[in-house]
Amino acid sequence: VDLEMEAKMQILKDTIMKYGIVKDHKILKVDSFLNHQIDPVLMDQIGDAFCQHFADQKITKVLTIEASGIAIGLATARILSVPLVFAKKVESFNLDADTYHTEVFSYTKNKSYPVRVSKRFLQPTDRVLIVDDFLADGNAALGLIDLVKQAGAELSGLGIVIEKGFQPGGELLRSLHIPLHSLAIIDSMSPEFIAFRTSI
Amino acid sequence: VDLEMEAKMQILKDTIMKYGIVKDHKILKVDSFLNHQIDPVLMDQIGDAFCQHFADQKITKVLTIEASGIAIGLATARILSVPLVFAKKVESFNLDADTYHTEVFSYTKNKSYPVRVSKRFLQPTDRVLIVDDFLADGNAALGLIDLVKQAGAELSGLGIVIEKGFQPGGELLRSLHIPLHSLAIIDSMSPEFIAFRTSI
């Protein structure tokens, strides 16, 4: 199983190297397969990898954040046969008044934005797997973790597709003993080269 | 196959009747299974229904709009084994400068919002299936159709999960000979009752 999983994650890394576009050493564009155009075969492999890693966690719900987490979340929830919930960043007149609410600071936008989940969809009995496309400074992940805590639910795992290992989020979350599993960790990158962490 | 498909779509209608919440005769909340919490089993059935209906269309790409179209789009693209592209409503610093762009008027927000797709992800050779969760006034669908036309691609189908038959979008699109297929058409609704169109 480990070898099989390693082979699958090699496909992810190969895809990142082949189709990812690095801009000014900090921005990695993966819009041709992960967050604008989406490769459903890769999504299935990502979902499968998260499910195998957190197989013994008795997950009852997958939680992610709109918009780029939704495809990853659905692929994962589908294999686990549990509901997917995605937190809302965008104001919606249709959202319940009764929500868990947190603020996430975005360094790229240099401002905070509200993140909400209706209280109906996170219960104290839930064992929650959070998934997202990127981990950089960790603020979005900490926001989602905060929503899980507000609900009194159990955080059973945090699955990230691409961790930017040169930004502080991963180290911060591991120091807090968050059960983080990143499928690919990038230690450094440039327009010419992407260096993955080898022992994850 | 028709009976099987009808049975599956009965599950969708049953789910809408059981878990949908009608507010003031015009708003239908389906956030417990379609656009906030998502039922992956229902998504597979929806994707399957669209794939069967448009099976002879040689679809090369599924197109939808963030955020609530993404899960429906992935479920459909996965079965068709083609990429999913979702159009962006939200400003993203990561989006290409070179995009197809249209404006969609929202009656609920009483203003237009921009909708964009990178030119890299829609080609003149593409045969595009557009999918979305709701069809009401038809403006979002017309916007996505406009993006397909700008790309010089072929519009091969438009798949809608819930059409509000008492709003003008469906009639408008059919009069334009758009190959529209709605899985459930609601002719009237109130907090007590939802009436589906029977011959679709």
ipTM for the predicted complex: 0.95
Assign B112 a pLDDT band (cuts: 50, 70, 90). Answer: very high
Our CA-based measurement puts residue A16 at a distance from the nearest CA of chain B, in whole angstroms, of 16
Given this model, what pLDDT does residue A34 score?
Answer: 98
Q: Which residues of A touch B20 (CB under 8 A)?
A: none
Assign A107 a pLDDT band (cuts: 50, 70, 90). Answer: confident
Total count of residues recorded for chain B = 200
Checking if the pLDDT of B102 tops 90, the result is: yes
The residue of B28, B35, B37 whose CB has the most chain A CBs within 10 angstroms, and thus the best one to mutate to test that interface, is B37
How far apart CA A141 and CA B61 sit, in angstroms, is: 31
How far apart CA B198 and CA B185 sit, in angstroms, is: 8
Checking if the pLDDT of A20 tops 60, the result is: yes
The answer to whether A38 touches A69, Cβ cutoff 8 Å, is: no
Given this model, what pLDDT does residue B32 score?
Answer: 97
Mean pLDDT rounded to a whole number for chain B: 94
Given this model, what pLDDT does residue B107 score?
Answer: 81
Given this model, what pLDDT does residue A91 score?
Answer: 74
* CA angle in degrees (0–180, nearest 5) for A44-A45-A51: 90
The residues facing A185 across adjacent strands are A163
pTM score: 0.96
How far apart CA B161 and CA B72 sit, in angstroms, is: 8
Checking if the pLDDT of A132 tops 80, the result is: yes
Given this model, what pLDDT does residue A97 score?
Answer: 84
Q: Determine the average pLDDT of the residues in A5-34.
A: 92
Given this model, what pLDDT does residue B44 score?
Answer: 97
Q: Which residues of B touch A67 (CB under 8 A)?
A: 66-67, 70, 86, 88, 90
Checking if the pLDDT of B116 tops 60, the result is: yes
Checking if the pLDDT of A9 tops 60, the result is: yes
Interface membership of B96 toward A (CB under 8 Å): yes
Minimum mean pLDDT range among B48-57, B83-92, B130-139? B83-92
Closest CA to A69 of A117, A127, A4: A117
Q: Which residues of B touch A74 (CB under 8 A)?
A: 38, 40, 43, 70-71, 74-75
Beta strand extents in chain B (DSSP E only): 21-23, 27-29, 37-38, 61-65, 84-87, 99-106, 111-118, 127-135, 154-164, 180-189, 194-196
Hey, are the CB atoms on B108 and A93 less than 8 Å from each other? Answer: yes
Mean pLDDT rounded to a whole number for chain A: 94
The winner for highest mean pLDDT among A23-27, A41-45, B92-96 is A41-45
Given this model, what pLDDT does residue B1 score?
Answer: 57
Q: Determine the average pLDDT of the residues in B167-173.
A: 98
* CA angle in degrees (0–180, nearest 5) for B139-A37-B87: 15
How far apart CA A4 and CA B18 sit, in angstroms, is: 42
**Angstrom distances, CA of residue B109 to CA of A89, A91, B22, B112, B132:** 16, 11, 19, 8, 19
Interface membership of A72 toward B (CB under 8 Å): no
- The alpha-helical segments, DSSP class H, found in B54-162 are 70-80, 139-150
Under DSSP, is residue B64 helix (H, G, I), strand (E, B) or coil? strand
Hey, are the CB atoms on B78 and A31 less than 8 Å from each other? Answer: no
Q: Determine the average pLDDT of the residues in A51-59.
A: 97
Compute the 3-state secondary structure of chain B and give helix, strand, coil in percent, each to the nearest 5: 35, 35, 30
Closest CA to B118 of B87, B93, B139: B87
Given this model, what pLDDT does residue A199 score?
Answer: 65
Checking if the pLDDT of B66 tops 70, the result is: yes
Residue A54's identity, in one-letter code, is: F
Given this model, what pLDDT does residue A96 score?
Answer: 81
Checking if the pLDDT of A1 tops 60, the result is: no
Number of neighbours of residue A56 by Cβ within 10 angstroms: 7
- The alpha-helical segments, DSSP class H, found in chain A are 2-19, 40-53, 70-80, 139-150, 169-175
How far apart CA B107 and CA B104 sit, in angstroms, is: 10
Assign B199 a pLDDT band (cuts: 50, 70, 90). Answer: low
The residue of A15, A36, A131 whose CB has the most chain B CBs within 10 angstroms, and thus the best one to mutate to test that interface, is A36
Higher pLDDT, B28 or B200: B28
Hey, are the CB atoms on A118 and B31 less than 8 Å from each other? Answer: yes
Q: Which residues of B touch A39 (CB under 8 A)?
A: 83
Assign B7 a pLDDT band (cuts: 50, 70, 90). Answer: confident
The answer to whether A111 touches A81, Cβ cutoff 8 Å, is: no
Our CA-based measurement puts residue B85 at a distance from the nearest CA of chain A, in whole angstroms, of 4
How far apart CA A2 and CA A25 sit, in angstroms, is: 31
How far apart CA B192 and CA A77 sit, in angstroms, is: 32
How far apart CA A159 and CA A54 sit, in angstroms, is: 9
